[in-house]
Structure 1
Amino acid sequence: MALVAKCAFGRPTLCEIKRALQSSFHLAADVQVSTLDSRHILLLFVNHSDFVRVWLKELMVVKGFTFRFFKWTRFFKARQEAPMVSVWVSFPNLPINLYHGNFFSFVVGAVGKVLKVDGATVGCTRTVSARACVEVDVRSTPPEKIWIGGGSSGFSIKLWLSDGFPSV
């Protein structure tokens, strides 16, 4: 599991970046930090939870330098924005019986790969809207709503994406 950390103008040392990652995110395992080019750092994670925690952060400031995180793919090119991003999706008025386990994962899976489910959704403490963070490809258009149920016995639910849907 790897992320690319992009810094627009200069950057601190690799040791300072690694130290900041470990202290800011309380990583459970080691992270390997290496240079891709003058603006991009490769972060290789041993622990999947550490990987997700950093990716969901989106931005981090180290010694006055701002980093943005992107999922690394084998198609990575320094001059292009990464197509895979994490986006928070809200499901307003989702029936409470769909908040749990496999039901919610199935619903969210219609949008993208589930990265994290909001704590209030897991604990059913805010049932006005269920939320999850998903991995999506910005080259494709996200659904505006999804159908829940089989055949004609079901209902559609409108989706809300955080900050709109980013474009490449």
Structure 2
Amino acid sequence: MAIPFKLTLVGKFSYNRPSVELICKFFNTLRLKGTFKVSLLDNRHVLIQLDVEENYSCLWVRQTWYINGSAMRIFKWTTDFRCSEESPIVLVWISFPYLPVHFMHCKEALFSIASTIARPSVARVLVEYDVTQPPLQRIRIGVGDSGFWQSVIFEKIPMYCASCKHLGHSIEMCYVANPGLRP
């Protein structure tokens, strides 16, 4: 049942959601390839269904779009998406310091290495990463005794609150988990 939603994103407006008509007009100005469909989920969220992976990547990589003066943050849609929670799946750059040169010049090899951590989207790679999981410090490359351990560096992993299920702060700074922190 989830297959038709493979290239689906969720747009979240914190304030002042424009009409679906205005959102569609905005997407038309982007000259996306293929087609798209925008539907309302609730007063803050829209579902953005795309049929071309390039459009999906383009919209998600930017993360925040401004439509008619209103900021719309982009999240990956998953089967367990809930409007009350933000997805912990984010785009994160990872790099592989001192990766042997012959691995860097082969896109397939680099994506294969990156796929052991997350799904790749150059030794610097953009991956979809679940921020609820601890980042790997290193990965094993090779077969048997002929392999080696490769360091992995994650750049700017956003904080994710396990209490309120939102990006941008830790549980220690959460107003839901710690009401006394609220100004």
TM-score of the two chains, using structure 2 as the length reference: 0.77
Deviation at 1:98, TM superposition (A): 0.8
Query: Residue 70 of structure 1 aligns with which residue?
Result: 75
Structure 1 vs Structure 2 CA RMSD: 1.6
1:138 paired with 2:131, answer yes
Find the residue that maps to 2:9 and give its secondary structure: strand
Deviation at 1:50, TM superposition (A): 0.7
Identity of aligned residues (%): 30
Find the residue that maps to 2:148 and give its secondary structure: strand
**Superposed, which structure 2 residues align to 1:39-58 within 5 Å?**
39-58=44-63
- Counterpart of 1:95, as a letter, is P
Which whole-Å CA distance do the structure 2 matches of 1:152 and 1:67 have between them?
Answer: 49
- Unaligned 5+ runs, structure 2: 1-6, 162-183
Which whole-Å CA distance do the structure 1 matches of 2:115 and 2:88 have between them?
Answer: 18
Residues 14-71 of structure 1, C-alpha deviations (whole Å, 9 max, x = no match): 12222223324x3111210111001101000011111111111111111111111111
Query: Residue 36 of structure 1 aligns with which residue?
Result: 41
Alignment: residue pair count: 154
Which whole-Å CA distance do the structure 2 matches of 1:147 and 1:167 have between them?
Answer: 28
Which whole-Å CA distance do the structure 1 matches of 2:48 and 2:145 have between them?
Answer: 47
Paired residues of 2:131 and 2:157 also in contact (CA < 8 A): no
More strand by share: 1
Query: Residue 98 of structure 1 aligns with which residue?
Result: 103
- Counterpart of 1:39, as a letter, is R
State the 4+ residue runs in structure 1 displaced beyond 4 angstroms: none
Larger RCO: 1 or 2 (CA < 8 Å, sep 6+): 1
Q: Which has the larger radius of gyration?
A: 2
Residues 73-108 of structure 1, C-alpha deviations (whole Å, 9 max, x = no match): 121111111122221111222222112132111111
Change (3 A) 1:166 1:109: farther
